[in-house]
Chain A
């Protein structure tokens, strides 16, 4: 860290859950699902539903965030997440700045805090942050000026709350109520920030049963404590499931040999049409993308009639519009 930029004291002992809310209980930042109430998550989904139809207007834009400047601050590669945030901002009439830190200032030796101070000095209103280190978005939220909102677009293995909310929105879109549902999350739970956020959101929304299915080496220690049923066998785990969420095998996050081979993984845990048939006939198949075809999912499933993977992308824009406008409204209240 360089000398010039002062470090603001972190909120002493503040949990991100409390830190991301205004004193009035509305969203100011969006860092994690953990600690958010069912009521607030439902408000996000309702708001997203209101925004969902903007895409059907001849001019796909509403003037809600006109004059606001949003910075996509990506310290890690992303195409889908970055571009859906960008589209969401544009449909809200905000101005958006895309900054790829890999290729920008830090290469020249500028510290993260100096980068933040410079972006603040440009009179920006929101940072959408993706970072390879867990807790990065929370750190940035603690450091930025009070009028700036921070949205976590994925931090290390910790959380990816907007992805989880777009998955919840997709589930509600197809199945309406969470109570009667059995949801199975399949694959690499250990390295997945998406899975962690999904499990928290599903439980907060009162989902009947949440299952994780995967080899022991890809499940975190004491995974049951997250509020899930654990299965190591697809035959048993997929029985009577309403929602199948397959996770990407995170090759870039694998340390050491946790798997014999990708071929072996597909043989044991790959989602094939035969395995989808074990779930309920009207079950839907989801994936946060990008898909490793033939590793965690057969192409016949990815492109099949029960797949809603591309719908997830479409619905994700409305969810991000909702979270962006709610957090900006929260920081105005602040």
Chain B
């Protein structure tokens, strides 16, 4: 199966995010991207939405629930969030929504920084296979992948989605 090109998906996310913010009456959201792919998508959306505050970044490695299987990542990139996210409306951005475990870990880390007023989830693609009750509020596109197939965002310039068959080295773009 071939993967969709990224720019139109980001344009759709931009439109839907603007509509959602208008609908909910949110004037000053705080955008946060999840390392690495989510941060690339968030950087583009942050520019397009012309948000005044700097983009926040999260590396959720220390919050993962699979430490016992995967161990410690030696290079965890720094998370950068404003000192408090208390009462802020957060736009949490990731590239691929799969099991929902990354988003759960990101929510846990966010709540270590304070108590946001709301968290809105935006993702580039939803590939199915959820293991937790987590859904995107804003979505580029749904892509149905088999359990052994994995979607990966390559970037940051240009951004390109690729599909990796587990057990095979072959990448389909």
A63 x B84 contact (CB < 8 A): no
A61 x B112 contact (CB < 8 A): yes
Report the Cα distance A332→B113, complex, angstroms: 30
Report the Cα distance A91→B63, complex, angstroms: 13
Report the Cα distance A50→B61, complex, angstroms: 10
Report the Cα distance A322→B72, complex, angstroms: 8
**B65 closest partner in A (C-beta):** A63
B84 x A62 contact (CB < 8 A): no
B114 x A50 contact (CB < 8 A): no
A50 x B74 contact (CB < 8 A): yes
Report the Cα distance A26→B112, complex, angstroms: 30
For residue B24, CB closer than 8 A to chain A, the reply is no
**Contact string against B for A residues 283-322, beta-carbon threshold 8 Å, 1 for contact and 0 otherwise:** 0000000000000000000000000000000000000001
For residue A46, CB closer than 8 A to chain B, the reply is yes
Report the Cα distance A178→B78, complex, angstroms: 24
For residue A47, CB closer than 8 A to chain B, the reply is yes
For residue A57, CB closer than 8 A to chain B, the reply is yes
Chain B residues near A99: list those with CB within 8 A. Answer: none
Chain B residues near A49: list those with CB within 8 A. Answer: 75
Chain A residues near B62: list those with CB within 8 A. Answer: 50-51, 54, 62-64
Contacts between the two chains (Cβ within 8 Å), count: 54
Contact A329/B112 with A50-B61, A58-B84 known, Cβ cut-off 8 Å: no
Chain B residues near A47: list those with CB within 8 A. Answer: 72-76
B71 x A46 contact (CB < 8 A): no
Chain B residues near A26: list those with CB within 8 A. Answer: 71
Chain A residues near B84: list those with CB within 8 A. Answer: 58
Which of A58, A61, A325 lies at the interface centre, i.e. has the most chain B CB atoms within 10 A of its CB? A58
A332 x B108 contact (CB < 8 A): no
For residue B27, CB closer than 8 A to chain A, the reply is no
**B80 closest partner in A (C-beta):** A53
A63 x B74 contact (CB < 8 A): no
A325 x B72 contact (CB < 8 A): yes
B68 x A50 contact (CB < 8 A): no
Contact A326/B71 with A53-B79, A58-B112, A59-B112 known, Cβ cut-off 8 Å: yes
For residue B83, CB closer than 8 A to chain A, the reply is yes
B72 x A329 contact (CB < 8 A): yes
B75 x A329 contact (CB < 8 A): no
Chain B residues near A54: list those with CB within 8 A. Answer: 62
Which of A50, A54, A59, A333 lies at the interface centre, i.e. has the most chain B CB atoms within 10 A of its CB? A50
Could you pull out 24 A-B pairs where Cβ atoms are within 8 angstroms?
A: A26-B71, A47-B74, A47-B75, A47-B76, A50-B62, A50-B73, A50-B76, A50-B77, A53-B79, A54-B62, A57-B112, A58-B113, A63-B108, A64-B62, A64-B72, A322-B72, A325-B72, A326-B71, A326-B72, A329-B71, A332-B68, A332-B69, A332-B71, A333-B71
6 more contacts with CB within 8 A, not counting A49-B75, A329-B67, A329-B71, are: A57-B79, A58-B112, A58-B113, A326-B71, A326-B72, A332-B68
A-B pairs, top 8 by smallest CB distance, nearest first, are A329-B71, A50-B76, A62-B62, A46-B74, A59-B112, A43-B74, A47-B74, A325-B72
